[in-house]
Amino acid sequence: MPFELILQNISKHINLTKEEQTFFVSLLHVKQVKRKHFILKEGEISKDSIFVTQGCLRGYTIDRDGSEHVLSFAPANWWIGDMYSLFTQQPGTMNIEALVDTDVLTLSRTDQEKLYKEVPTFERFFRIIIEKSLVSSQQRIIDNFSLTAEERYHKFCKRYPELIETVPQKQIASFIGITPEFLSKLRGRTHSGK
């Protein structure tokens, strides 16, 4: 049942009738993204909101020196997208890659507008989802100002417990904004302190 998880995710915030659920599900596309393959590349115009049902995606940008900067991880039950490109329909700067074989559901921008028209309560759902993303994004800016690397690491562990053991260390380091060597030191310290 590839739609069970997304319907649960939605039912946390809005109530849908059976007909509305059926209509919503009819707009979704099931896709598989093999490990190390991309669902979106820098320079492309993002057309879809993406919901992960299994596996894990990561979104990152590449700076002019060729270094990668991780913006977000999306394990199962998370939404991900290049917000700039999706909302402005301009070419984006984000790459979204599968860290492991990953199953996703996509909802195209056009179908999302159709959904808002037919089932306006989805405006509420996405308003709430986007509020949560905005809080995370602003909090990340604040954390970079005000928390030490160690505190940011502990916050990451709390936020993404399922990723700590599965995601390569250098990508966690990139998300937190530290070198992999420093992350390794932090992990040693945390471990020995237990």
Which residues bind to its own copies, rule: CB under 8 A? 61, 63-64, 69, 71, 83-84, 87-88, 93, 116, 120-121, 123-124, 126-127, 130-135, 137-142, 144-146
Q: Smallest distance, Å, CB 60 to its own copies?
A: 10
Q: Smallest distance, Å, CB 1 to its own copies?
A: 28
Report the alpha-carbon distance of residue 126 to residue 135 in Å, rounded: 14
Closest to its own copies by CB, 37 vs 127, is: 127
Closest to its own copies by CB, 46 vs 53, is: 46
Q: Smallest distance, Å, CB 182 to its own copies?
A: 17
For 19, counting Cβ atoms within 10 Å of its Cβ (0-12 exposed, 13-18 middle, 19+ buried), the class is exposed
Closest to its own copies by CB, 53 vs 176, is: 176
Q: Smallest distance, Å, CB 183 to its own copies?
A: 17
> Closest Cα partner for 95 from 54, 116, 66, 131?
66
Closest to its own copies by CB, 34 vs 132, is: 132
For the four alpha carbons of 75, 79, 84 and 90, in that order, the dihedral sign comes to positive
Buried b or exposed e, range 20-49, using 16+ CB within 10 angstroms: bbeebeebbeeeebeeeeebbebebebbbb
